[in-house]
Structure 1
Amino acid sequence: MNGKTFWAQLRRVPTPLALLVGLLLGLLIGRSLPSSFLAPSWAFRPVYVSARKQLTLPTIEQRHRVLELLSTLSPHHTSECTRNSQPLYVQQVRERYESLVGLRPTSQASWLSSLDFGDFGDFGSFGDSQHVHLAPTKEHKYFFAINLYNSFEIIPDLFATLFRVSAILGYHNVYVSIYENGSSDQTKALLRIFDALTKSVGLRVTIRTSTRTRGAFNHRIEYLAEVRNQAFNPLYELRDSHNEYFDTIVFMNDILPCVDDMLELIWQSRRHNAGITCAADYMYHQELNSPVFYDNWVSRDINGTALENAPFEAIFHDPHSSERFQLHLPVQVQACWNGVAVLDPAPFYTPPYVRFRMAKIGESECSASECSLICNDYWEAGYGRILMVPRVKLAYDKKVFDVIHPQRRNLSAIRGYVRLGGLPDNPRTDPQDRSWFGPHDRLFTPEESQDIEFVPGPSHVWCWGWDGAGDIDGPDVDPIWESMPNRSQRAGAVTVKHERMMDGL
């Protein structure tokens, strides 16, 4: 039979029979070829443990490939955070945060030179990652909790920072829990994209969404406390189902954070064994044409007075606190939240088992913010080492972010030059570094790493309550000086109970 006759006979075969023959041939060919020929090199192979099907952790190359995809969507506003930082700041950062690295190279190479995480990689070159052998250090577990509502604009920056910070802390050491509800923009759709991307590189993320909104007759603080507790649910689920505990909680609002901002808050939290560590957040004041301190409804000075929505020199009433704040030095406070709070989780795991809550109005407790109340509960539980870190300046929008993170323009800070002699660099000799909203790469001073002498809490705290249901315009009762429990005024309230300091701090 010649070729023409063969093809003529083949065309007479019924279509269903031809399809069946094709499928059989495909199966035979597939079985005869090696699996590596059919699957791309980056495909993940399942590993069977007992009866559960699990995915193997991706390789460094696979993570880097997904990072490139992730970076096409982020970040928008914070892309200049660590770009073109002055060399001395880069050196300080490498030394300061080395103890936080969750995976350490066995060679003597710098930890930053062994990792490439987009913009954070501007601190150091990537090098040849496939030849770096990583060995785990002492593990510390971090639980990130986030509430989102109509947050489409900030999600790319938020996830970019989460992704890079988690890579430094170690993906296996981090769990991210996000609770979103009631958004009317495309927040839910964008969250689904980032959920898939982050999980594909081994970062554990739980994103739960809801259509629920605050009803007209729901108490505002009761509602907000419930929303925050929803983001905490995986913390207890992991404890109950896998006996997994975390020694640091990072609770984030809808902010625009830089990578080194988050590392500094975690570093200060561990350095001082703090119960709560927070940043300083800012909003734009139209009349002053400048950013001013924002979260004064929650934040209280160590003397119990409320902080002010004012420029930096007029925020604190206590003279000692004000002086430290203006020098960018960590300040002990009675309460704060300010966009990000790093919490010691011990009071969540052990008695008195604190949770976000509304005030016990029936017992004459002032109806403060759920964030103020949790600070009060930390004091009463004996975890009153509460710290504000002025260096970490946070914004909720691009306008404020650009003001509080200006670009360095002074010619004395030309990049790449090394001092050959003379006096050592002093961050206060550059006029930009002396300004409050100076460049992001302002050098660290020794005072920013010194021990803080924590003192017991005040006997009374200024409280402007919010009693009414449905009122969304602000506090609705007369402010008072509320008395604090005697236990928060004793030395035991600031005694270290949960040792969280890391090696090298």
Structure 2
Amino acid sequence: MQPNTFWLQLKRKPTPLALVVGLLLGLLIGKTFPTSLLSTGGNNPIFVSRLSARKQITLPNIDQRRRVLDLLSTLSPHHTTECTRNSQPLYVQQVRDRYASLIGHKTPSESTWFSSWGFSDSQHVHNVPKKEHKYFFAINLYNSFDVIPDLFATLFRVSAILGYHNVYVSIYENGSTDQTKALLRIFDALTRSVGLRVTIRTSTRTRGAFNHRIEYLAEVRNQAFNPLHELRDSHNEYFDTIIFMNDILPCVDDLLELIWQSRRNNAGITCASDYMYHQELSTPVFYDNWVARDINGTALENAPFENVFHDPYSSERFQMHLPIQVQSCWNGVAVLDPAPFYTPPYIKFRMARLTEEECSASECSLICNDYWEAGYGRILMVPRVKLAYDKRVFDIIHPSRRNLTAIRGYVRLGGLPDNPRTDPQDRSWYGPHDRLFTPEESEEIDFVPGPSHVWCWGWDGAGDIDGPDVDPIWERMPDRSQYADSVKVKHHREMSEL
């Protein structure tokens, strides 16, 4: 039988028979060709077809698969488990008193996680505010599989304190090549099961070779804010505080302290301090110096704790872990007053206006400049809140109290409690997470107008990934940011107003 005659005869067969023949042919081909041509193993990319428009997919390795199974049965964080587990009693009492005004829930069950810190005691029920304060969490994620469990565990716990009904979480993920999208789907279902409102939007979009880096990053950050405007337009729902988070490893009291300081000082922007590991120095150093500027407009340094600030007054406060006024900062987590997003000129993330010769700074630097110009220049850095992006740095900057004492050879004399004034442990910049609060940390900041010029190291090149590519300059700031009105309270958010 000729080949053409064979296909003509096959076409005349009934459809069910044709399907059976097709399946048999598929099985024959699968047995004939080695599986190595179809798959390269658990950790390598699989290519469905050379002509397929789909991007390569990376399968999870054995450890990642085990992590996913563990996450289905527990909401425990992966790296930050010890944050508050063994806190010293005096710190626990300080936390109970300090953050009681942030409680947004009614009398909770005694079995909840935060009952161990006293947030469910009947003596604090009267602190539940009559007027609800609403919080909008915005998060950008990219290849964040390793930190998602800690982010969500912290979000669960912080939301339980603030009140689930007072919290909305918006996550925008794009371009991830690991299992970030799959993990987000799991946590999406978990958050809904406890009544926490969350919007998780994912995309395959990545920055093109000719897209301006800052324009792309601004667009990605603005995507996380879409629900903020959608809730305003569709439900007339407004929020009093925005918490914008990067892919960091936060503890519960880290976020509570930033929120507390933001509302205590009616700050336009309140940020943490973040750290990365410096290979040559073999120590963690301050990270986000491309954005952070002191109140004189000078850039901070990628340096150990003692050498981050050039301004002597700011450096002294930084080393004493006291809040500091700065011209701009972001540093992993930023708490924003949302008023400039709701009122003209409707601030949002943007790239520099290059046609107007504006320095091509980071989108986070530019939003700080815009806050100044809009009259919300009360920008604050909180050195107590130290953030890391990986487990290695997290463990160094948050050593356990016992281990720190052993390493340094300090011997406690008598049974006196820790004293942040005299205990050498608490005077170390990388001291324990449960460092006791000092009275100065609760004092309101005396804000001053902004500087006339700010140090800017621009990034103009499209596709450039090696760092800023423009000579640094002292850029003049708008006159309005130098007026006293730029630091006058316009949106009252302090706890006493609730």
2:148 maps to 1:152: no
1:157 and 1:412, CA in 2 relative to 1: closer, same or farther beyond 3 A? closer
Alpha-carbon offset, residue 426 of structure 1? 2.1
Deviations 1:165-216, CA, capped at 9 Å, x for gaps: 0010000000000000000000000000000000111100000000000000
Give the aligned residue type for 1:483.
Answer: R
- CA RMSD of superposed structures (Å): 2.4
Alpha-carbon offset, residue 475 of structure 1? 0.2
**Residues 100 and 119 in structure 2, CA contact (< 8 A), matched pair in contact too:** no
**Residues 270 and 501 in structure 1, CA contact (< 8 A), matched pair in contact too:** yes
2: distance between equivalents of 1:325 and 1:203? 36
Alpha-carbon offset, residue 330 of structure 1? 0.1
2:117 maps to 1:123: yes
SS in 2 for 1:103: coil
Aligned pairs for 1:66-465 within 5 A: 72-105=74-107, 114=110, 116-117=112-113, 120=114, 122-124=116-118, 137-409=130-402, 426-465=419-458
**Residues 378 and 487 in structure 2, CA contact (< 8 A), matched pair in contact too:** yes
| Structure 2 stretches lacking a partner, 5+ long | 1-69, 407-413
SS in 2 for 1:207: strand
**Residues 217 and 469 in structure 1, CA contact (< 8 A), matched pair in contact too:** yes
1:77 and 1:504, CA in 2 relative to 1: closer, same or farther beyond 3 A? farther
Aligned pairs for 1:32-51 within 5 A: none
Q: TM-score, normalised by structure 1?
A: 0.80
Alpha-carbon offset, residue 326 of structure 1? 0.5
Deviations 1:379-406, CA, capped at 9 Å, x for gaps: 0000000000000000000000000110
Deviations 1:441-479, CA, capped at 9 Å, x for gaps: 110000000121100000000000001101011000000
Q: TM-score, normalised by structure 2?
A: 0.81
SS in 2 for 1:443: coil
2: distance between equivalents of 1:395 and 1:361? 33
Alpha-carbon offset, residue 502 of structure 1? 1.0
2: distance between equivalents of 1:166 and 1:354? 26
1:337 and 1:125, CA in 2 relative to 1: closer, same or farther beyond 3 A? closer
- Specify which of 488, 493, 496 is matched with residue 495 of structure 1: 488
% identical aligned pairs? 85
Deviations 1:248-287, CA, capped at 9 Å, x for gaps: 0000000000000000000000000000000000000011
Give the aligned residue type for 2:112.
Answer: D
2: distance between equivalents of 1:71 and 1:442? 32
SS in 2 for 1:208: strand
1:78 and 1:339, CA in 2 relative to 1: closer, same or farther beyond 3 A? same
2: distance between equivalents of 1:479 and 1:269? 31
Give the aligned residue type for 1:320.
Answer: Y
Give the aligned residue type for 1:395.
Answer: A
1:464 and 1:127, CA in 2 relative to 1: closer, same or farther beyond 3 A? closer
Alpha-carbon offset, residue 103 of structure 1? 1.4
SS in 1 for 2:495: coil
Deviations 1:402-425, CA, capped at 9 Å, x for gaps: 001100117999xxxxxxx99875
**Residues 225 and 357 in structure 1, CA contact (< 8 A), matched pair in contact too:** yes
1: distance between equivalents of 2:176 and 2:312? 42
SS in 2 for 1:97: helix
SS in 1 for 2:461: coil
2: distance between equivalents of 1:227 and 1:213? 10
Paired position in structure 2 for 1:469: 462
1:352 and 1:411, CA in 2 relative to 1: closer, same or farther beyond 3 A? closer
Give the aligned residue type for 1:95.
Answer: D
Aligned pairs for 1:24-39 within 5 A: none
SS in 2 for 1:447: helix
Alpha-carbon offset, residue 80 of structure 1? 0.2
Alpha-carbon offset, residue 72 of structure 1? 1.6
Task: Say how many residue pairs are matched.
Answer: 420
**Residues 143 and 179 in structure 2, CA contact (< 8 A), matched pair in contact too:** yes
Alpha-carbon offset, residue 297 of structure 1? 0.2
1: distance between equivalents of 2:198 and 2:87? 31
Paired position in structure 2 for 1:20: none
Give the aligned residue type for 2:248.
Answer: I
**Residues 83 and 123 in structure 1, CA contact (< 8 A), matched pair in contact too:** no
2: distance between equivalents of 1:124 and 1:174? 21
2: distance between equivalents of 1:188 and 1:461? 39
**Residues 272 and 385 in structure 2, CA contact (< 8 A), matched pair in contact too:** yes
1:187 and 1:205, CA in 2 relative to 1: closer, same or farther beyond 3 A? same
Give the aligned residue type for 1:199.
Answer: R
Paired position in structure 2 for 1:37: none
Deviates more, 1:212-221 or 1:401-410: 401-410
Deviations 1:226-259, CA, capped at 9 Å, x for gaps: 0000000000000000000001000000000000
1: distance between equivalents of 2:242 and 2:447? 21
Alpha-carbon offset, residue 133 of structure 1? 12
1:69 and 1:287, CA in 2 relative to 1: closer, same or farther beyond 3 A? closer
Give the aligned residue type for 1:163.
Answer: F
Paired position in structure 2 for 1:43: none
**Residues 266 and 491 in structure 2, CA contact (< 8 A), matched pair in contact too:** yes
**Residues 85 and 441 in structure 1, CA contact (< 8 A), matched pair in contact too:** yes
2: distance between equivalents of 1:478 and 1:384? 27
